[in-house]
Amino acid sequence: MCGIVGYIGFEDVKEIILGGLEKLEYRGYDSAGIAIANNNNVYVCKEKGRIKDLRGCLDVNVTGTLGIGHTRWATHGVPNKINSHPHQSCTKRFTLVHNGIIENENELREKFLKDIEFTSDTDTEVIVQLIEKFVSEGEEVELAIRHTMSELEGSYALAILDKEDMNTLYAAKNKTPLLAGKGEGFNMIGSDAMAMINYTNNFYEIEDKEFLKITKEKIEIFTIYGNKVTRDTYTADIDASDTEKGTYPHYMMKEIEEQPFVIRKIISEYSDENGDLFVEPEIVENVKACDKLYIIACGTSYHAGLIGKQFFEKIAGKPTEVVIASEFIYNMPLLTEKPLFLFISQSGETADCRAVLVKVKQMGFKTLTLTNVKGSTLSRESDNTLLLYAGPEIAVASTKAYTAQIAVLSILAAKVNNKINIDIFKELGKIAYTMETLCDDKDNYKELAEKFLVKSRNCFYIGRSMDYFVCLEASLKLKEISYIQTEGFAAGELKHGTIALIEHDTPVIAVITQESINLNTRSNIKEVKARGAATMVISLKKLSNETDDIVIDDVNELLSPLAAIIPAQYLAYYAALLKGCDIDKPRNLAKSVTVE
Ligand code: F6R
């Protein structure tokens, strides 16, 4: 969702801010803007559309060494130039960008800002007008910002310029990610490390309700009450090249093809010096000690959780329930006495998961987060963290994070291991190799996408047991980037209603990787074929028929989702490519979903 970059230092900020915003494009946005402190004035430029549109309207002659930038994903007010950030106070003294949602904006307008004529439909404008109001009533700027923070209900990451002090960049945070980057003769802020990684790899985490005063020499962090906070910096586990596409046409293609490497990296990160399986003992103990594991996640991460449940129940013998985060709060399952909550979140910032985390912590339960982003909100706020080691995932559609989640879940289950012994590293090693072979067959997937999918309005993925969970993820991939309406369906359930939707040439893709269900799913394929469907089969070699379209080398059946998803990711990629869709940035979507 929205992204923020800010810089104060010695170089011209334009490219630093625009480049940083481009690094945040993956989060999803519909407009962008920049403010540059220039000769005791603040130059503001904003535009609906992409960063390239913003570049197009920017006055190249404006220079400055202090600036802030923003990508907006509309929540309050349509995506247009006026609603884009930055926003300015009525006298234009203060200029501000904001990520998050202010829940009490109406009350604040009513209580403090009745006389102000607002120019936009955003909740953000309330913040900048409040700061100006408190300053006009005699408060010092720092106090006015902290006072404003204390009035706000909701989430915010803020970057603020004061026209009367061109040597300071102010920032604040609550429930929305924000990092400060420390440099030599300059300092930065950003929604994530990637926005700053070309300039620094030295970051301060910022806690909720903290306020920052930043000059080119120093970063000072304060509580909302004005007490100074001391904190060490940390380095992020990424380098600048991780965030580049290299020779790949799209990040999604790069990330699909990184999967074998990621699986091997996970094996090495979860090994001890003897090459044996290592997971932090406290985590293993917590899983062993709980009477039920509750997996909380959204979207693709939820799909990984469904497969994780199979590992925990079949390998570790641990009862497990998987709940969609946004449902949990309103429809909480009857909890056991000693539950452990496992949050799965690539970004570690998903607001729906965080809402559950806050709730279950209040209830006194233990929590564990599985995430790709060290230092992310969910990671910081959980008792323990397991990292994915997948490297930055930039394409909005998750690929390598999904398989990394499944791989780490299998490792944790194998470590707990109460039921069956599995040489998990050997099996995952086979998976990495099989993924490579599958990646080599991409011309085949392109042809299949062209033949079966491109001209279709809708499509079905069908499977049973573990294959059904793969189908859920495969269908999400296809629909989110190609906009073909796709359903992942339990193959045996079709005949109970949904088979009515099968028409001449409706694509039905069957996934068959489990011996126990092979014949049943094949019967379901016959049923839809008899009603005119155009069928495609993805199967494991030992279960395959001559006519199957994609055959996967034999791997451990429990881990087969890790292999079976690869062709499905490519099918989605090629369907979107052939339809001319924006593969890495599908419409309406955001990578990091920081609103509930
Ligand atoms: C789909 C996708 C989303 C995310 C979901 C949760 O490709 O990426 O469905 O999985 O928004 O995000 P995280 O894992 O960051 O919590």
Q: Where are the domains of the chain?
A: 3-245, 248-436, 441-596
Residue minimizing CA distance to atom 10 of ligand 1: 300
Strands 156-162 vs 165-174: parallel, antiparallel or unpaired = antiparallel
Supply the DSSP symbol for 277. B
248-436 and 441-596 have identical folds: yes
% of the chain with per-residue pLDDT over 90: 86
The one-letter code for the residue type at 121 is D
Is the domain spanning 3-245 CATH 3.90.1150.10? The answer is: no
pLDDT of residue 420: 74
Supply the DSSP symbol for 451. I
Give the separation between CA 337 and CA 365, rounded to whole angstroms: 10
Name the active-site residue from 2, 290, 353, 459. Answer: 2
pTM for this model (two decimals): 0.84
Mutate to test the pocket of ligand 1, among 398, 469, 588 (most ligand atoms within 8 A of CB): 398
pLDDT of residue 53: 93
Give CATH for domain 441-596: 3.40.50.10490
pLDDT at 584 exceeding the cut of 90 = yes
Residue at token pair 């989430």: 155
pLDDT of residue 572: 98
Q: What is the pLDDT of residues 7-16, one digit of tens each?
A: 999 999 999 9
CA 23 to chain centre: 14
Active site residue 439: no
Mutate to test the pocket of ligand 1, among 350, 396, 472 (most ligand atoms within 8 A of CB): 350
* CB of 593 closer than 6 angstroms to any ligand 1 atom: yes
The one-letter code for the residue type at 104 is N
| Residue 496 to residues 179, 491, 524, Cα–Cα distance (Å) | 51, 10, 12
Question: What mean pLDDT is reported for the chain?
Answer: 94
**Closest ligand 1 atom to the C-alpha of 300?**
10
pLDDT at 210 exceeding the cut of 80 = yes
The encoded tokens of residue 322 equal 């998987």
Residue at token pair 């946005």: 29
Q: What is the pLDDT of residues 75-133, one digit of tens each?
A: 777 888 888 999 999 999 999 999 988 999 999 999 999 999 999 989 999 999 999 99
Residue 16 near residue 7 (C-beta atoms within 8 A): yes
pLDDT at 374 exceeding the cut of 90 = no
What spacing in Å lies between the alpha carbon of 351 and ligand 1's midpoint? 11
Tell me which H or E stretch contains 31. Answer: strand 31-38
What spacing in Å lies between the alpha carbon of 497 and ligand 1's midpoint? 29
Residue 26 near residue 394 (C-beta atoms within 8 A): yes
The band of 448, judged by pLDDT with boundaries at 50, 70 and 90, is very high
Q: What is the pLDDT of residues 310-353, one digit of tens each?
A: 999 999 999 999 999 999 988 999 999 999 999 999 999 999 99
The architecture of the domain spanning 248-436 is: 3-Layer(aba) Sandwich (3.40)
Identity of the highest mean pLDDT range in 26-30, 313-317, 592-596: 313-317
* CB of 298 closer than 6 angstroms to any ligand 1 atom: yes
Q: What is the pLDDT of residues 474-511, one digit of tens each?
A: 999 999 999 999 999 999 999 999 999 999 999 999 99
* CB of 378 closer than 6 angstroms to any ligand 1 atom: no
Q: What average pLDDT score do residues 268-274 get?
A: 94
Q: What average pLDDT score do residues 32-48 get?
A: 93
Q: Closest Cα to residue 547, out of 561, 537, 555?
A: 537
Strands 210-214 vs 165-174: parallel, antiparallel or unpaired = antiparallel
% of the chain with per-residue pLDDT over 70: 99
Cβ atoms within 10 A of the Cβ of 213, count? 17
The band of 237, judged by pLDDT with boundaries at 50, 70 and 90, is confident
pLDDT of residue 579: 97
Q: Closest Cα to residue 554, out of 575, 534, 539, 576?
A: 539
**Closest ligand 1 atom to the C-alpha of 353?**
16
Active site residue 314: no
Q: What is the pLDDT of residues 164-174, one digit of tens each?
A: 999 999 999 99
Q: What is the pLDDT of residues 556-581, one digit of tens each?
A: 999 999 999 999 999 999 999 999 99
pLDDT of residue 590: 77
